[in-house]
Structure 1
Amino acid sequence: MSALAVLMIVLAYLLGSISSAILICKAFRLDDPRLRGSGNPGATNVYRLGGPVPAGLTLLGDVLKGMIPVWAAYFFGLTPIELGLVAIAACLGHIYPLYFKFQGGKAVATALGAMFPVASEMAVLLIMTWILVFWVSRVSSLAALITVALAPLYAFLIKPQYTIPAFMLAVLIIWRHRTNIVRLWNGTEVAFRPGKRKNNKNK
């Protein structure tokens, strides 16, 4: 592995460690997403706390954390495996953020963002898959699991050289959802039901 690849992996982790959900919630004076709702600092939980605008900004930030380092690594000519490691580093930063006591989210949006620079067609397919499964089930974790499970297949069909990196990302995201898998198996996973949000103006 080249020195440039190692540098990009480290930078990807540091960028991934910037928690969009926590920063956006602070900016909008919302509760800490790690302590409210599902406890997951991600766009879905931020939606529960503050609505579509904070959630959209959180989603954008999470996507960019994966997109920017992989785009840079792709520009510098790193190999597909090295690109996969850069993407994984960004996701690990999101899951275990250095700046936020290693309490992070599930990294689904960050993983999707990491796929855009190298296979935009695959990223679009993954987004469409997530939307379809979520629309039918209203369960965010189920949509994420099915989407990432299909990522290696989509990669194989569209850009076979990225099948292994896509598989690596899929394994990481599925492992991160292990508690969700148990709840899905037991039938106790809660479906997403947007309702009245808590007033956080005085928080």
Structure 2
Amino acid sequence: MVRWKKGGEEGFMKVIILFIVAYLIGNLLTAHFVSRLLYKGNIHDVGSGNAGARNAGRMFGKKAFIFTFLGDAAKGAAVIIAAKCFGFSLTVQLFALLGVILGHLFPVFFRFKGGKGMSTFAGGMLSCQPLLFAVLLVLFIPFYLISRSLTIGALGAIASIPFVMIFFSYKPVIIFIGALISFFIILSHRHNIKEKILK
């Protein structure tokens, strides 16, 4: 069972509340606020309509990309740091990371039209498991060299998550959550994958 730092067993409802809060935090789309406040536009109405760093950078420039990337990464990091402060186990931390990523991908406040989750994943995983994050960065290199695409390189590393977890002997439940994170991020990039295949 997961325990709070001050002692006492933590219950199912506390985990669910953490997941819901993480999901709602994920709804805070940085690209939306950057486009509205700094550029008087709506990220959902320009370019691909995706509320992520890549579309923000294409439509509004390098500063918009940086602000969006850092803001979305901070969401993932904040959820993990909060979960650690409350003494949640690694399993629950990753469950919370899944929640914030789902909130970013499918934000209820924006008609379930969000970003693609890369930045949020990066911030959350770096805060949660720095060594695993470093391994994924290493795996990114061969995928990128083969595909010559940053997107495919990153997706190749993301797809490797459950296999890397198996290699490092993570618990089955953690591997399952890692596989879910991998699945949803890859799903959000399905159109990018089709474009690369058709080229």
Higher helix share: 2
Of 23, 44, 48, which residue of structure 2 is paired with 1:13?
23
Q: Measure, in 2, the Cα distance between the counterparts of 1:177 and 1:74.
A: 30
Unaligned residue ranges in structure 2 (runs of 5+): 1-10
* Separation (CA, whole Å) in 1 of partners of 2:184 and 2:126: 18
Deviations 1:75-121 (A, max 9, x none): 32333332232111101110111322221011111112221222112
Which residue of structure 1 aligns with residue 4 of structure 2?
Answer: none
Distance 1:34 1:143, change over 3 A: farther
Q: Match of 1:160, as an amino acid?
A: Y
Equivalent pair of 1:152/1:163 in contact (CA under 8 Å): yes
Q: Secondary structure at the match of 1:160?
A: coil
Identity %: 27
Q: Distance in 2 between matches of 1:65 and 1:128?
A: 24
Are 1:79 and 2:101 an aligned pair?
no
- Does the 8 Å contact 2:39/2:60 carry over to 1? no
Counterpart residue type for residue 149 of structure 2: V
TM-score (norm 2): 0.80
Alignment of 1:38-53 (within 5 A): 38-53=48-63
**Aligned Cα root-mean-square deviation (Å):** 2.4
Q: Distance in 2 between matches of 1:135 and 1:55?
A: 24
Pairwise mapping of residues 177-188 of structure 1 onto structure 2 (< 5 A)?
A: 177-187=189-199
Query: Match for 2:193: what amino acid?
Result: I
Cα deviation code 1:1-56 (max 9, x no counterpart) = 62221111011011000000111111221532222222221111111122222211
Q: 2:188 is aligned with what amino acid?
A: R
Does residue 94 of structure 1 match 2:95? no
The DSSP-based 3-state class of the residue aligned with 1:15 is: helix
Structure 1 residue 28 and structure 2 residue 38: aligned?
Answer: yes
| Alignment-mate amino acid for residue 169 of structure 1 | I
**Larger displacement relative to structure 2 (118-127 or 82-91):** 118-127
Q: How far apart in 2 are the matches of 1:16 and 1:70?
A: 12
| Structure 1: gaps (5+ residues) | 188-203
- Paired residues, what number? 187
- The amino acid across from 2:55 in the alignment is N
